[in-house]
Amino acid sequence: MSSTKIFLDNTIQIERIIVPSRRAIIQPHLTAEGTSVISSTYLLMEYRRTVVADFIAVHNLVKSYKQLGAAVAHLSSGRARFSKRMIERRQMILGMAMVDCEDADESLTRVGVLRILELYLEGGLERRFMENITTLTNVTDCDLAKYPLIQRADGYYELTTTCNKKRVRCQLPAFLQQNAHSLQRIEQFIKQHAAGEYQELLEKLAQVTTDFSQARGQRTCWKLGDIIIALEAPPDALIYTTDKDFKTICTALGRKLYQE
């Protein structure tokens, strides 16, 4: 019997968690016989600073209003100063919580929605991230993946989602140094085929390969995120993603993407 190793990118994680129509398509691929699914603590960090942070923002927004309708109106009005993608994701999260209220026979009220959102935050989101995951690698030993979610005395949640290079002690510099040859391959491929599209990325690569300690901190680490993910995926695993940038990186490395 043939086996398939899938390295699960967060574009797929997000879709299977908050987009029911996509979940119906994705899950059979992850549960097929002979399939093992792999993720990493670096991907967990990305998930926490995007998905978990969005759930926190929606919870805290609903809690700040006396009426559920006012929170819905706030998200729908575009008053939030965030990217279009982030606003859409938060609107979907609030809608998902409202549907879950009805499915759980909860009253569709501010209190009912807060209760559902708190169930997600108090472990539900972590369980959903780990669903079907058979191996969680830890080659970067990411600090942000370890920080606890905190519920303050006033009921609001908070989570550390910023990375200060002077404070963190992750193993990213050592990991990238071990993969210096692969970084050079990526850099040369981009220079030859897509330099105009990835100019900022090339600048970060040049900075890091000159001094690997410069990889720490969100300004550099997050910019190199797709490269880090591609490098930490096991050589015999297929990366399952909808992020088009992985095609360039994986072509440079001679790696293959998973096809639905």
Which domain does 164 fall in, by range? 4-253
**260 assigned to some structural domain:** no
d(CA 176, CA 174) in angstroms, rounded, equals: 6
Question: Above 90 in pLDDT, residue 13?
Answer: yes
Tokens of 40: 């990493």
**203 assigned to some structural domain:** yes
CA distances from residue 12 to 47, 138, 203, 205 in whole angstroms, order as listed: 11, 20, 28, 26
- DSSP classification of residue 22: H
Structural domain count of the chain: 1
Long-range contacts of 150-154 (CB under 8 A, 24+ apart): 151/121
Per-residue confidence at 107, pLDDT binned at 50, 70, 90? confident
CA distances from residue 199 to 153, 205, 216, 222, 250 in whole angstroms, order as listed: 46, 10, 20, 15, 18
How large is the average pLDDT for residues 249-257? 96
Q: Are 16 and 26 in contact (CB under 8 A)?
A: yes
pLDDT in the model for residue 103? 82
pLDDT in the model for residue 79? 60
pLDDT in the model for residue 81? 63
Q: Where does residue 151 rank: exposed (0-12), middle (13-18), buried (19+ CB within 10 A)?
A: middle
Q: Are 133 and 8 in contact (CB under 8 A)?
A: yes
SS3 204: helix
Percent residues over pLDDT 90 in the chain: 89
Per-residue confidence at 108, pLDDT binned at 50, 70, 90? confident
pLDDT in the model for residue 37? 98
Give tens-digit pLDDT for 86-103: 888 999 999 999 999 888
**258 assigned to some structural domain:** no
pLDDT in the model for residue 30? 98
Give tens-digit pLDDT for 33-87: 999 999 999 999 999 999 999 999 999 999 999 999 999 998 887 665 667 788 8
Element (H, E) at 59: helix 53-64
**108 assigned to some structural domain:** yes
**How does the average pLDDT of the chain come out, rounded?**
94
**259 assigned to some structural domain:** no
Per-residue confidence at 151, pLDDT binned at 50, 70, 90? very high
Estimate to the nearest angstrom the gap between the alpha carbon of 50 and the chain centroid.
6
pLDDT in the model for residue 60? 97
Residues of the chain by 3-state class (helix, strand, coil), percent to 5? 60, 10, 30
Question: Above 70 in pLDDT, residue 239?
Answer: yes
How large is the average pLDDT for residues 178-205? 96
Least trusted range by pLDDT, from 97-111, 142-156, 231-245: 97-111
Percent residues over pLDDT 70 in the chain: 97
